[in-house]
Amino acid sequence: MAKQSPAASTESLTALIKETVGDSSLRVEESLGSGYVRLLVAEAERRQAKHDIRHVEDAVVEMLRNARDAGASHVLVAMAREQDVRTLVLLDDGEGIPEDLHERIFDARVTSKLESMSQDRWGVHGRGMALYSIRQNALESRVVASGMGRGSALLVRFDVSTLPERADQSSWPSPESGEGQLRLRGPHNVIRTCCEVSIESKGKLSVYVGSPSEVVATACELASRGDVAEDTLIAELGESWDAASLAERAAALGLDMSERTAHRILASQIAPLPETGHSIRKMLKGSGSHERRDIDLLDDRRSLRIAAPDMKRFSRALERDFKSIGDAYYVRLIKEPDIRVSRGKMTVSFEFEHED
């Protein structure tokens, strides 16, 4: 067997080290000797970002603060877990994110708060590091849907075996009042985090937390009551007129569900969520708990619900009427008319193309 030269041996060892721990030249700006180095800015940021998010609840705080600073009035937090993977979808009615920035907002130092860095009970906010920190700790992080003036839907997934969460994610905190302040006791889980952010906002931000189906049911109620602007992603869920349409629109926001579940939502068999801060205040007064209230059918201000067979007949009639326009102007429908119903209004859209 041929003996390796010292140079070849050194090169092999260097290659092995790079393969095992990475190329230090990609992380080090300057070697200072005696084992000391000056890290590159990108490496220092990456290490700090890994430190900033210690638990799943830390990520929830950061996303809620982002929604608050984006001018949102409502944030809906959908939680689901499969084995060791925790999935969170945050849906809000804030300013929204331009489509060309959907990926860039996860870069370090990217922020929309150039002149408005703030500090609250959770520390400094506005450094442009929150979403970057989340991405460094997440299995997946992405903007599912957003647009200027429409709000945002963000999805993140964490491996809870590496980024832990509180073991009890079902218990609500207990409120207590002392020295003029409202305090919460109980596990520091996602529910408590949402309650604290809602309370801290002093009524400016309503936060709801529950399963994906409960979040969709809540969005439908908010839309039907006119609590959210018509062009927002939340409002669009409430405009769904049948189970297939609702399931499709929910999936487009990262809230997957079956048509059967969507039908149960439209039939009011899945109750909307309570607003977290409001529930805590009711618990403190002893006038209620976090239990979800039943819908009062005598005071039901939701939008008109049209039975699927009636909607299908209406759609066919619209197609026939459109044909007279199409024949005259040489256009044809690409798909069925899109019919959206909200409180006091019905909107019909025709998608067509010019005939050759």
Q: What is the per-residue pLDDT for 253?
A: 97
Q: What percent of the chain has pLDDT over 90?
A: 38
The answer to whether the CB of 218 falls within 8 A of the CB of 270 is no
Over 90: is that where the pLDDT of 159 sits?
yes
Over 80: is that where the pLDDT of 114 sits?
no
Beta-ladder partners of 152: 92, 146
The answer to whether the CB of 134 falls within 8 A of the CB of 62 is yes
What is the DSSP code (8-state) at residue 55? S
Distance CA 90, CA 93 (A): 10
pLDDT interval class at 126 (50, 70, 90): very low
What angle (nearest 5°) sits at the alpha carbon of residue 98, between those of residues 97 and 102? Answer: 70
Q: What percent of the chain has pLDDT over 70?
A: 72
Other beta carbons within 10 Å of 265: 26
What angle (nearest 5°) sits at the alpha carbon of residue 290, between those of residues 164 and 82? Answer: 35
Mean pLDDT, residues 64-82 taken together: 93
Mean pLDDT, residues 309-329 taken together: 85
Q: Kindly report, residue by residue over 74-111, the tens digit of the pLDDT.
A: 999 999 999 999 999 999 999 999 898 898 888 876 66
Name which residue leads in pLDDT, 355 or 35.
Answer: 355
What is the residue type of 235? A
Over 90: is that where the pLDDT of 273 sits?
yes
What is the residue type of 192? R
Top-ranked range on mean pLDDT: pick from 101-105, 150-154, 224-228: 150-154
Over 70: is that where the pLDDT of 286 sits?
yes
Name which residue leads in pLDDT, 69 or 190.
Answer: 190
Q: What is the per-residue pLDDT for 17?
A: 39
What is the DSSP code (8-state) at residue 112? S
Distance CA 90, CA 193 (A): 14
Helix (H, G, I), strand (E, B) or coil at 326: helix
Per-residue DSSP letters for 233-300?
HHHHHHT--SHHHHHHHHHTTT----HHHHHHHHTT-SPPPPPHHHHHHHHHHTS--SPPPPP-GGG-
What is the residue type of 295? I
Distance CA 149, CA 34 (A): 55
- Name the strand (E) or helix (H) holding 120: strand 118-120
pLDDT interval class at 315 (50, 70, 90): confident
Side-chain half-sphere CA neighbours of 185 within 13 A:
7
pLDDT interval class at 113 (50, 70, 90): low
Other beta carbons within 10 Å of 356: 4
Torsion of CA 41, 43, 45, 51, to 10 degrees: -150
pLDDT interval class at 179 (50, 70, 90): low
Name which residue leads in pLDDT, 20 or 47.
Answer: 47
